[in-house]
Structure 1
């Protein structure tokens, strides 16, 4: 009788040599994705917090405090300011404030065509720079400014952006915000400023160290009158509804 041949032992499949590399890449991609999500969540919470919490002293203010030994800022809510102040601020710095979502692309185009001799920053962009960043003209800072502008437009709303702007803008050396500026120039509270003094205060922007609201030059007086007229127009045309109160 013929002997039965022993059954062949099935060979174990050879281990794939390329398994570890895809697993490593998958872990790396997962870690990268989680890091990006974590950073986004942190930024949303961090920026969103300042819708309800007033921003602390910023980098520029601290530097000016150290340089000049003086720092004045008295935070005041928008509803406790003269209504002429936000109107004058919009007329002076950003007449399309209620119409855009953080960027005035027409002004940007005009600035580019004019060789960047004209400013194109909106109030929202200025708040982003003043609260979260530093002074300067680098592309890195401008890129970060754009990102923060999108965040505050989405998380804060126009009224809060205007309120923060009026409380952090510089009006003289070491003088920040409309309350400190009103006391500094006119010896009165921001709530008591009329249209003329409100427009005179905004006329010192964007060069407050070279201009005075209480001792204006003839040129500054003309600018203040132009701002006052612009503020009346904004109000009459209903283009201030996004930050008006009362």
Structure 2
């Protein structure tokens, strides 16, 4: 349990970003928690500015005050971007995996979760070997922490052994 902010991560991000700026690099590291990302995605406009960040802090405090952690997670999973124009778990499950979110296996859920830090860079539809490795790690963590007890029932093969996902996505105009 926390207040919606990870002050240690914020400090590390500031130091990292200052170093990158000194080197003339534009690479940035963020430190937003799920609560902050939820506030940003639900209440704010796209872009970066100090004013927008101040509003993000305000709305994060509000949702941390009035919503349960479970509610914050539900809203987050329904508004988070999984790819270009694909928002929320249900849309991502249907668009990339051609099934309802209720039908996702642990392996599917791990794959979807692993792309979240950078959904425009990493792909659910055609995961790289790096993403498959992270997916396998995530499944191991899920198993270790007991987050899915029916591993063998739903996931008959390890992620590396799965057949490639279909590369063709449904067109936006046909929906």
Matched residue SS, 1:205: coil
Per the TM alignment, residue 104 of structure 1 is displaced from its structure 2 partner at its CA by 0.9
Structure 2: unaligned runs, 5 residues or longer = 19-27, 148-175
1:105 aligns with 2:16: no
Q: Give runs of aligned pairs for residues 74-223 of structure 1, distance below 5 A.
A: 99-115=1-17, 117-223=28-134
Tell me the distance in 2 between the aligned counterparts of 1:228 and 1:187. Answer: 21
Matched residue SS, 1:120: coil
Q: Give runs of aligned pairs for residues 27-38 of structure 1, distance below 5 A.
A: none
Instruction: Find runs of 4+ consecutive structure 1 residues off by over 6 angstroms.
Output: none
- The change in CA–CA distance for 1:217 and 1:140 in structure 2 (over 3 A counts) is same
Deviations 1:128-176 (A, max 9, x none): 0000002222111111100100000111111111000000011122211
Q: Give runs of aligned pairs for residues 21-60 of structure 1, distance below 5 A.
A: none
Tell me the distance in 2 between the aligned counterparts of 1:106 and 1:230. Answer: 23
Q: CA RMSD in A?
A: 1.8
Larger RCO (CA within 8 A; separation ≥ 6): 1
Per the TM alignment, residue 211 of structure 1 is displaced from its structure 2 partner at its CA by 2.5
Q: Calculate the TM-score normalised by the size of structure 2.
A: 0.71
- The change in CA–CA distance for 1:231 and 1:149 in structure 2 (over 3 A counts) is farther
- The change in CA–CA distance for 1:233 and 1:148 in structure 2 (over 3 A counts) is farther
Rg larger for? 1
Give the equivalent residue in structure 2 for 1:74.
none
Q: Calculate the TM-score normalised by the size of structure 1.
A: 0.52
- The change in CA–CA distance for 1:235 and 1:150 in structure 2 (over 3 A counts) is farther
Tell me the distance in 2 between the aligned counterparts of 1:119 and 1:234. Answer: 26
